[in-house]
Amino acid sequence: MNRDNEPYPFRRHLRRCQFFGPGGRQVREDKCRCPYDVDGLHHGERVRQSLRTTSRQTALRRLTVLIRKLDDRRRAAGDDTLSVAQRTVSAAVDRFLWNYGELDQNRKFHGTIEYAPWRKYRTKLSLLRAFCEAEGISDLADVTVDVLEDFQRTRKIGLVTSKVELQALRTFFGYFVSRKWITANPAKEIKGPRNIKPNEVVPYTLREESLLLAACDQIAARNMKGARSRTSGFGRGRW
């Protein structure tokens, strides 16, 4: 990344770190435990300072707080270029769904994706919106990693469904990171379930198996009867 982007957290590699020097910011963040700094431009103002933590989750939370403080300072100084409208969770859900499709008055779907995935997004995001409303969380920027983890704990679903839901949340928050509504994607910091065992497939019930076996017996009996008839007739005709 370059510093012309929105402020972003990165590990400031210490001199004793093997990644210290040029190219250090391109190193995967899980390769060391160096502290996080923030760098970038926010409304034309260079933001560069320490976040005083080695935890990415904490760094993201502190970056969100820092951006709010900068915005509050600009508003207090009379800067009217900042939008006073909150980027709410509810507005974000509506905008995300509208961007990919909508139902007309006749309940007919029109969109840039198929109805099935759109409906799944609508279901999962509606659950997130309801959870945030129940917890008193309105601003999209207030949906942190901790909030998403609390949301996941309320979901009584299997591992496969949980993995699919997490990917939907990553797509949702990534959409608003790219549009500068929020500075980071909290869903990316949550590790999905691993070593998921495939569901046991039971193709037929016991009743279905018994019906199939009975049908096989009937077919076999008819074939045997037909074979005997043909054999008997062949013998009579020959002799």
What value does the mean pLDDT of the chain take?
82
d(CA 167, CA 122): 14
Q: What pLDDT is recorded for position 67?
A: 83
d(CA 215, CA 196): 38
Q: What pLDDT is recorded for position 43?
A: 77
Residue 208 clears pLDDT 60, i.e. is over it: yes
pLDDT grade for 100, boundaries at 50, 70 and 90? confident
pTM: 0.52
Q: What pLDDT is recorded for position 81?
A: 58
pLDDT grade for 71, boundaries at 50, 70 and 90? confident
H-helix or E-strand spanning residue 89: helix 89-100
Closest CA to 11 of 35, 30, 28: 35
Residue 151 clears pLDDT 50, i.e. is over it: yes
Residue 159 clears pLDDT 70, i.e. is over it: yes
Worst-scoring range by mean pLDDT, 22-26, 98-102, 225-229? 225-229
More confident residue, 148 or 210: 148
Mean pLDDT in residue range 147-171: 92
Which range of 27-31, 111-115, 169-173 scores highest in mean pLDDT? It is 169-173
Phi, psi torsion values for 88, nearest 5 degrees: -85, 160
Q: What pLDDT is recorded for position 80?
A: 61
Q: Domains along the chain?
A: 1-84 (no CATH), 86-201 (1.10.150.130)
Q: pLDDT tens digit string along 115-142?
A: 999 999 999 999 999 999 999 999 999 9
